[in-house]
Chains A and B, each alone.
Chain A
Amino acid sequence: MTMLLAATSAFAQAGSAQQQQQLDLTAVSLPIPPAGKLVAITNATIMTASNGTIEKGTIVIRDGKIAAVGTDVEVPAGAKIIDGTGKYVTPGIIDAHSHSAAEAINEGTLSITSMVRIEDVLRQDGISLYRQLAGGTTTLNILHGSANTIGGQNAVVKLRYGLPVDSLKFEGAPPGIKFALGENVRQTNRNLQPGQEGRFPRTRMGVEDLLRDAFTRAQEYRRDWQQYDAKKKAAKTAAERAALIPPARDLELDALVEVLEGKRLVHCHSYRADEIRMMLRVAKDFGFRVATFQHVLEGYKIADELAKAGSGASTFADEWAYKMEAWDAIPYNASLMAERGVVVTINSDSDERARRLYQEAAKAMHYGGTSEQEALKMITLNAAKQLGIDKRVGSIEVGKDADLAIFTAHPFAPNARVDMTLIDGRVFFDRATSPTLEQLIEQMKQRKPHVASEDQ
């Protein structure tokens, strides 16, 4: 933690390229805590998200990974048993759009802030992370806000609540960045002070201009470095090499070059079909793929275009009418996009909705008749795919991380409740040991005299 703070402040003052290159924060991460060694969840209904539902099945967890799944699975001697009788087990829920666990969300003073990083401001975020765990959520895509067209870099985390903040990081998750279009970046919902001009851009035309300008600069910056590297390689003597002057390191463009090279996933906040198509054209012209469109409330109008571009869509289940650009939002969005081959997720964008994403996912069945497994995928496997972590999480399969939610009833049933949440086979939430309202009321009743006076 101290090291992280030191690194952060040094980062803020970073003067040279060399200094910056030494500040890879993964280097100061603390070791991940020991995973669940040997655990077996027995006699449960297992909704795998990839291979249907297994009745009366067993999951064996070894060293934090799923070692076996099925009906014909032997429980190894010495395993800690979790009785799953009458329970439903799903993959841990992945929230593809979160703003939890971060000290700051928006660096909105500029229209391009690709140099700022959510991982520099991660925190344990107190009780909110625990409450999301209690809704079966295990992984979050923590995004920069939507105040500007090219926002900051994201952080993918696992909800390892209670461990040091560096343990949150989803080790090995591909890096990403937030882009945003529409009303928020135009700041048209803000009241400007008299005489205040506002920040460029102010129209959707300006947003496109800004993007093209930024990526043109990124291309030139990349070319400068490529030429420098080539000359350095071609240099015959040490003196020749020493005489070469490298281009000035630009942290803003570094991140955009990573986008151009497909090394950084773009998560683009968007609403209207026109702006989404604009973004697709820009991405095509500069040769990169937009990994996901976030919100993408009019995605259903251009589902074929999204599918063709290979862009995922991460949307709300049924939010609408909260602003002009959300006026054509329909709750059939997820189903319609999925029908045409788009990888769709349903996200929270809220510490509250992240507590009940399982209910949100069921809305894809209600509106448009998405199948049960597809609906479950929209909060698990599809999110893992969108974030490039599907080899690790998102479904209940042998070899994957043992990130699991155990429900008292079918997760889409009205009375569904999470009783236990595991990450890496480790129980991070257990209702049996969690303070509940029922317990609190019971305690208050036992302190009768006090309660009585409270109650009068």
Chain B
Amino acid sequence: MRYSLAARCWPTAARYCPVLLAAAIGTGAFTSRLSAQAATGTYIIRGGTVVPVVGAKIPNGSVVIAGGKIQSVGANVQAPQGATVIDATGLFVYPGMIDSGTELGLTEIGSVPGSTDTREIGDFNPQDVALSAVNAHSELIPVTRVNGVTTVITSAAGALMSGSAALIDLWGWTTDQMAITPRVAQVMSYPSSGAGGRGGGFGARPQGDASETASRQVRAMRDFFADARAYADVKAKLATGGSAPNAPRVNQAMESLVPAIRGEMPIIFDVNTIDQIRGVLALADSFKLKVILRGPRDAWRLADTLAARGIPVIVGPTTQVPGTDDPYDAIYAQPGALVKAGVKIAFQTSGASGVRDLPYNAALATGYGLDMDEAMKALTINPAQIFGVADRYGSLEPGKVANVIVTTGNPLDVRSNVKYLFIRGEQVPLTDRHTKLYEQFRARPRP
């Protein structure tokens, strides 16, 4: 039983199978951050309202989890033999939520430089791999997941080309185990002319040579893409048996851009203003890039164009003040306006310590025109589609990875709480640094 299920491990976690994990536990490597159970547990969550996100709500429904996957979802589901029963009467069952822009694992304490790996020196570092610097044992990771956020994009940001982002689950002994797609997208900032404020979605302006104007940065960026285009063409020629007498030496930066320049890997562009968005669209046209906009304030101004071109927008954080000349509700109302125009959206919180507030970020938009169901999609199936993993993530459907949360109510409602949490089919304890301190000091004897 165990072995047959192990064979169904997803590729990136191939090295992580129950046998090895059992061995690791045997050596005493177990910490409270991970439970001792391997990912082969069988569970039935029953009696709750199941919200699969894709498809209709199922009152009094059940979700069966086995071998790390969702085995079945429905109103009349048989409990597999030996399944652990989770009574969800009065509770709600949702897929785990996905944050489409964080620095999780790359920073611990914001003002302590020794604990942050979010910004490399230089403007062009597409070869940098965020996953290599992710601390799987960051205290911020359990703090995030106990609020129902099970999956995140994490990356450096702020440079013109910051390197590749990782799509990770917030569970695992190592980053290899956590990774869903180790290099899921390139992260770039489109240069800002300064008008309209910040350059990137992370509040940082590109920190290039101060004398370099935005237009020079744009030209440098175009040159870089042109080089990557030429590099990829030569590479393709060589691969098909062609000869290139002056074939370039292997160049890590160029290598890393090949998938993006071939349109196989998306590029997340941190942008803000309408000028930056137009710039990205022009770049995408010139080099046939697959782009994702992240953090724009002005996307609503081009909503119809973005919808027609099928360019997704990662909105947020919604916890910003609008541009000086924008209506007071511009930040809160933009997500709804984009959806209304037919743009696919997802949400980001953009930091690390505040990623747990992801559902509340989305909630702010629901008072201002974003439909509640659309908001939930923007936290689950939409990012799964945007990052190419919708076959395995983003909804409660048979065969998908069992990232499941059981809550007391709508996860977007601050008053709701997560009661059970499953990542990759394993029941993850709802404890973290904060619950420990809470328990410790709640028990302090009164004088």
Interface residues of B in 282-333 (CB under 8 A from A): 300-305, 319-322, 324, 326-330, 333
Given the known A-B contacts A304-B447, A359-B364, are A131 and B353 also in contact in the complex, defined by CB atoms under 8 Å?
A: no
Roughly how many angstroms separate A389 CA and B379 CA in the complex, as a whole number?
42
Which residues from chain B contact A385 at a C-beta distance below 8 Å? none
Is B110 part of the contact surface with A, judged by Cβ < 8 Å?
A: yes
Roughly how many angstroms separate A352 CA and B331 CA in the complex, as a whole number?
11
Roughly how many angstroms separate A433 CA and B354 CA in the complex, as a whole number?
34
- Asked if A323 contacts B328 (CB within 8 A), the reply is no
Is A103 part of the contact surface with B, judged by Cβ < 8 Å?
A: no
- Asked if B111 contacts A323 (CB within 8 A), the reply is yes
Is B384 part of the contact surface with A, judged by Cβ < 8 Å?
A: no
- A to B CB contacts below 8 Å, 27 in the list: A127-B328, A134-B328, A134-B329, A301-B444, A318-B357, A319-B353, A320-B434, A322-B111, A323-B111, A324-B109, A330-B434, A336-B441, A355-B321, A359-B364, A362-B414, A362-B415, A367-B438, A412-B415, A414-B410, A414-B412, A434-B327, A434-B328, A435-B328, A437-B337, A439-B327, A454-B301, A456-B305
Which single member of B300, B337, B366, B442 contacts A414 (CB below 8 Å)? B366
Roughly how many angstroms separate A375 CA and B434 CA in the complex, as a whole number?
20
Which residues from chain B contact A212 at a C-beta distance below 8 Å? none
Which residues from chain A contact B438 at a C-beta distance below 8 Å? 300, 330, 332, 336, 367-368
- Asked if B412 contacts A324 (CB within 8 A), the reply is no
Is A400 part of the contact surface with B, judged by Cβ < 8 Å?
A: no
Is B413 part of the contact surface with A, judged by Cβ < 8 Å?
A: yes
- Asked if A438 contacts B356 (CB within 8 A), the reply is no
- Asked if B357 contacts A321 (CB within 8 A), the reply is no
Is B112 part of the contact surface with A, judged by Cβ < 8 Å?
A: yes
Contact with A along B388-431 (1 / 0, CB 8 A): 00000000000000000000001011111100000000000000
Roughly how many angstroms separate A319 CA and B349 CA in the complex, as a whole number?
13
Given the known A-B contacts A304-B446, A321-B108, are A328 and B437 also in contact in the complex, defined by CB atoms under 8 Å?
A: yes
Q: Residue of A at shortest CB range from B440?
A: A301
Is B17 part of the contact surface with A, judged by Cβ < 8 Å?
A: no
- Asked if A352 contacts B320 (CB within 8 A), the reply is yes
Q: Residue of A at shortest CB range from B352?
A: A321
Q: Residue of B at shortest CB range from A363?
A: B414
A126, A324, A409, A438 — most chain B CB neighbours (10 Å) = A438
Taking the nearest CB of chain A, how far is it from the CB of B324, in angstroms? 7
Taking the nearest CB of chain A, how far is it from the CB of B414, in angstroms? 4
Roughly how many angstroms separate A366 CA and B327 CA in the complex, as a whole number?
31
Given the known A-B contacts A189-B111, A301-B441, A327-B109, are A417 and B356 also in contact in the complex, defined by CB atoms under 8 Å?
A: no
Number of interface residues of B (CB under 8 A): 55
- Asked if B353 contacts A415 (CB within 8 A), the reply is no
Q: Residue of A at shortest CB range from B446?
A: A304
Given the known A-B contacts A355-B321, A415-B372, A455-B302, are A318 and B356 also in contact in the complex, defined by CB atoms under 8 Å?
A: yes
- Asked if B110 contacts A321 (CB within 8 A), the reply is yes
Which residues from chain B contact A312 at a C-beta distance below 8 Å? none
Given the known A-B contacts A365-B415, A368-B438, are A127 and B324 also in contact in the complex, defined by CB atoms under 8 Å?
A: yes
Interface residues of A in 389-428 (CB under 8 A from B): 408-409, 412-417
Is A441 part of the contact surface with B, judged by Cβ < 8 Å?
A: yes
Is B208 part of the contact surface with A, judged by Cβ < 8 Å?
A: no
Contacts from B to A (Cβ < 8 Å) = 108-112, 139-140, 300-305, 319-322, 324, 326-330, 333-334, 337, 352-354, 356-357, 360, 363-364, 366-369, 372, 410, 412-417, 433-434, 437-438, 441-442, 444, 446-447
- Asked if A441 contacts B356 (CB within 8 A), the reply is no
- Asked if B321 contacts A437 (CB within 8 A), the reply is no
- Asked if B417 contacts A366 (CB within 8 A), the reply is yes
Which residues from chain A contact B372 at a C-beta distance below 8 Å? 414-415
Which residues from chain A contact B352 at a C-beta distance below 8 Å? 321
Kindly list 19 other residue pairs between chains A and B, CB separation below 8 angstroms, not including A321-B352, A328-B437. Answer: A130-B328, A134-B328, A300-B438, A304-B444, A318-B357, A319-B353, A321-B140, A323-B112, A324-B112, A339-B442, A340-B446, A352-B321, A415-B363, A415-B367, A415-B372, A435-B327, A436-B327, A437-B368, A455-B305
Which residues from chain B contact A444 at a C-beta distance below 8 Å? 301
Which single member of B303, B324, B369 contacts A438 (CB below 8 Å)? B369
Taking the nearest CB of chain B, how far is it from the CB of A454, in angstroms? 7
Which residues from chain B contact A20 at a C-beta distance below 8 Å? none
Taking the nearest CB of chain A, how far is it from the CB of B330, in angstroms? 5
Q: Residue of B at shortest CB range from A323?
A: B111
Is A351 part of the contact surface with B, judged by Cβ < 8 Å?
A: yes
Which residues from chain B contact A435 at a C-beta distance below 8 Å? 327-328
- Asked if B369 contacts A414 (CB within 8 A), the reply is no
Contact with B along A345-375 (1 / 0, CB 8 A): 0000001110110010011011110000000
Taking the nearest CB of chain A, how far is it from the CB of B373, in angstroms? 12
Roughly how many angstroms separate A183 CA and B110 CA in the complex, as a whole number?
14
Which residues from chain A contact B112 at a C-beta distance below 8 Å? 323-324
- Asked if A322 contacts B367 (CB within 8 A), the reply is no
Which residues from chain A contact B139 at a C-beta distance below 8 Å? 321
